[in-house]
Every structure is written in structure tokens, then in C-alpha cells.
Amino acid sequence: MKINENYQKLPGSYLFSTISKKVKAFQKEHPEKEIIRLGIGDVTLPIVPAVIKALHQAVDEMGNASTFHGYAPDLGYPFLRETIAREDYEKRGCDVKADEIFISDGAKSDCGNIQELFGPEARIAVCDPVYPVYVDSNVMAGRAGEYDPSSGIWSKVIYLPCTRENRFVPGLPKETPDMIYLCNPSNPTGTAMTGKQLKVWVDYANEHDAVILYDAAYEAYISDREVPHSIYEVEGAKTCAIEFRSFSKNAGFTGMRLGFTVVPKELSFGGASLHDMWARRHGTKYNGAPYIQQKAGMAVYSQEGRRELAEQVAYYMRNARTIAQGLEEAGYEVAGGVNSPYVWLHTGKLTSWEFFDRLLENAQVVGTPGSGFGPSGEHYFRLTGFGTYENTVKAIERIKTYG
């Protein structure tokens, strides 16, 4: 039997299980202490009323013979694709057509699956620190080379360090990649590249015949006018970039599963259209997003939905600002929290895990050690604005007092 041996190369995924074990052990030793979790990337506010209403209506349609919907179109219902094209792209001056938008069950699946369109010898570049899915999905496909446990580095991956030294803006690499993953605003650093900074990458990709895999899952949190909401706001992007979008963070859909990916028709290499290839992949290995989820997605763009969701985003961003300001007042060096619900702090002389232990011990606050996101994440730490406001305020008070 011939197994895919690349899976065996993956080191254990210990980050969140180690956090969980440490928290449990602490709680057992100190049952009287209340722990606040600000490490999570999951939302906590419920789905807004406009979307709930749309879901109930869609469910009723599914229970009625005359309005029942069987298999959805593989690539998504035209009603949603057209709405996205108009609201997310046309209104921002981007030339993205409805038939370039592929509805899916979320950005994680799409980010993980997109690498299938490329050959096994294609080279990937990733920011460091980075969302682990980009790297792991390429390890599984045999594109990452060998892992060095001591450095945490894959031999064939091109790393783009994002640290305070370069203000978390990745510099162009020495080796030439074929696939460049960019998450903007960034998970985990919470920082964002401006249109001007992105233009450098778009030009580079076009010149070097590379593709940019642009993860815009956090675009709803952008407040800075210089930061584009879509890579297609940058001139030249349509010939080099694929964009991933999500309903998870802007509409609280983490447990609902809905997202979409834009693959422009212009995007082709050696005569092969990535658009056609992605359409074929959808048709072969996917069966469309559920009707009720796509109707829920429509409600996100309604007047009522927009208003309710703007409040939700504002709530999380108030948390993020509270964290960032509080940490700065406590003397920490902080990034993020302006265009993203993520706050990225420097842990000084402590390692990420030492800082984790100290924060848990002294303030009973749980965050995520930066080293879990890549070698350059060492000496950093992630806190998120996705908790409740009350807990966020309490956590920051504790950090200021005891942290």
C-alpha cells in the first residue's frame, strides 16, 4: 500500500492542546481563581436578528415542496454571487464579476485546497508568523520539503519574517516563489499592509509569474483608509491574485460555514486558466454551499444586517482597542488592534511560553504564544478582541495590576 508519506512529516499540532493542558492544570491547583480567555480566534456574539430571520425563512422554504431546494449550483447561487460582486467589489471600484466568485463553506477550506491547482515542485512563500493552514496544506502535498524541529523551519518554504524591525510588513524574498500567501489584515499580528505596500507585491508577482493567495478574512475590521479591503483595489492584481473572503469574522458565521473565493478569469499560466481549474475542482470535490447558508449570507448585505453587523464589529474593535491601550499603558510594545481584532505584543526578554505562564499565574488571563505561529513569532503574544467587553476590561485591569 502506497500511503501519502508527507502526512507523516507534519509535527504534532500542540499549540492549542498545550494551552488547554496548562489552563486545566492551573485551574485544578487554583479552583477559586477565575480565568479569562483572550486567546481565541472564535467569535462570541450571537448571529444578528436580520440573519436569523433570513435563516428561518429559508428553513421554511426547505420544508415546502414548491420552494424546496435540492443540490445547489456547485459554484454558488447567482443571487449571492451577484450581490457580492456588486456590494464587495463594484462599490469599491473593483472589476470582479459574479462568475469570478466561488461560494464555499469557508475560507479555511479554500485556503487549504487552493494549493491543489499547483504542481508539486511549486515553491511557496509565507509570512512568519503565519496562519498554520497555508503551510500544513502544502506539507501534505509534498511542497514544503523537510522539517527541522530545532528551528521550526521547512526546507523548501520561503519565509517572510514580519517583526517589529520591519513593522510587520514582509520584504521581498531573495529566492523566487511561485505561490505567495498574504493575509491582510494579518492573523496573527493584527497589522495591515497599505495599498502602496501591497502594490510592491502585486508588481513583484506579475513580474515573476507568481500568484498571490490573498486571505482577506478580517477585512471588515479595517479602519485605516490606506488599507484596501480587497487586493483588487490594487492595480494589476487581477492578473496575479486569488482572494479568499469569509463570513466568519464580519458576520459571526464561524459555526455557520460560508465564504467565497475570487479567481479572476485573467489569471492563467502557460495557457491554463486557474479560474477554470478551480471551477472543475468545485464541480468534482464539492457539492455547493447549503441554500439556507447562502440565504443567510444575503441577509448580511441587507440594510438591517449591515447596521447590526457594524455594531458587532464595533463591539469587538472596542475590545481590541481596550487591550492595545491598556497594554501600552502597562509599558508593553503593541501592534495590531487598529485594523484587526488581534493585538500582538512583544514579550521582552521572556519567551512566548514564559510570558504565557506568567500571565496565567499572575493575572489568570489566557492568550496565545506567538511562537506557535512560526519562528519569528517568538517573543510575541496574541490577545484577541473576541471576548466580552466586561471580561476584556477585567483582564486588562489585572494585567496592569499584577501582570
Q: Which parts of 246-265 interact with a copy of itself (CB under 8 A)?
A: 252, 254-257
**Amino acid identity of 74?**
D
Q: Which is nearer to a copy of itself, 196 or 280 (CB)?
A: 280
Which of 9, 358 has the CB closer to a copy of itself? Answer: 9
Location of C-alpha cell 478582541: 385
Name the segment binding a copy of itself (CB under 8 A); options: 19-27, 117-125, 165-173, 375-383. Answer: 117-125
Cβ 163 to a copy of itself, closest distance in Å? 26
Within 179-208, the residues that bind a copy of itself by CB under 8 A are: none
Q: Is 255 exposed, middle or buried (0-12, 13-18, 19+ CB in 10 A)?
A: exposed
Nearest CB to a copy of itself, comparing residues 197 and 273? 273
Angle between helices 352-363 and 15-29 (to 10 degrees): 30
Nearest to 230 by CA among 55, 122, 90, 370: 90
211-215 and 147-148 strand pairing: unpaired
The H-or-E segment that residue 36 falls in is strand 36-37
> Of residues 50-69, which lie at the interface with a copy of itself (CB under 8 A)?
52, 55-56, 59-60, 62-65, 68-69
Stretch that binds a copy of itself, among 31-39, 147-155, 268-276, 310-318 (CB under 8 A): 268-276
Minimum distance, C-beta of residue 63 to a copy of itself, in the bound complex (Å):
4
Q: Does 121 bind a copy of itself (CB under 8 A)?
A: yes
Tell me which residues in 276-295 interact with a copy of itself (CB under 8 A): 277, 280-281, 283-293
The residue type found at 236 is: G
Q: How far is the CB of 245 from a copy of itself (least distance, A)?
A: 15
* Residue 34: DSSP 8-state: P
- Candidates 270-278, 306-314, 368-376, 393-401 — which segment interacts with a copy of itself by CB under 8 A? 270-278
Distance of closest approach, residue 334 Cβ to a copy of itself, in angstroms: 26
Q: What is the largest CA-CA distance in the chain?
A: 66
Query: Looking at 26, 269, 315, 332, which residue binds a copy of itself (CB under 8 A)?
Result: 269
Q: 59 or 310: whose CB is closer to a copy of itself? A: 59
CB-wise, 108 or 238, nearer to a copy of itself?
Answer: 108
By the rule CB under 8 A, 212 interacts with a copy of itself: no
d(CA 130, CA 135): 8
Distance separating alpha carbons of residues 199 and 120, to the nearest angstrom: 28
Which run of H or E residues covers position 181? strand 179-183
**Residue 118 found at the interface with a copy of itself (CB under 8 A):** yes
Q: N- to C-terminal Cα distance for the chain?
A: 54
User: Is residue 303 involved in binding a copy of itself (CB under 8 A)?
Assistant: no
Residue among 166 and 388 whose Cβ is closer to a copy of itself: 388
Site for a copy of itself in 136-175 (CB under 8 A): 136-137, 140
- Residue 274 or 345: the one with the smaller Cβ distance to a copy of itself is 274
With contact defined as beta carbons under 8 Å apart, do 381 and 345 qualify?
yes
Mark 321-343 as b/e (b = at least 16 C-beta within 10 Å).
Answer: bbbbebbeeeebebbbbbbbbbb
Residue 37 CA to residue 284 CA, distance in Å, equals: 40
Q: Please enumerate in sequence order all residues whose Cβ is within 8 A of that of 222, keeping only pairs 6 or more positions apart, or say none.
A: 185, 192, 229, 339, 340
Binding letters toward a copy of itself, positions 70-109, x by CB under 8 A: xxx--------------------------------xx-xx
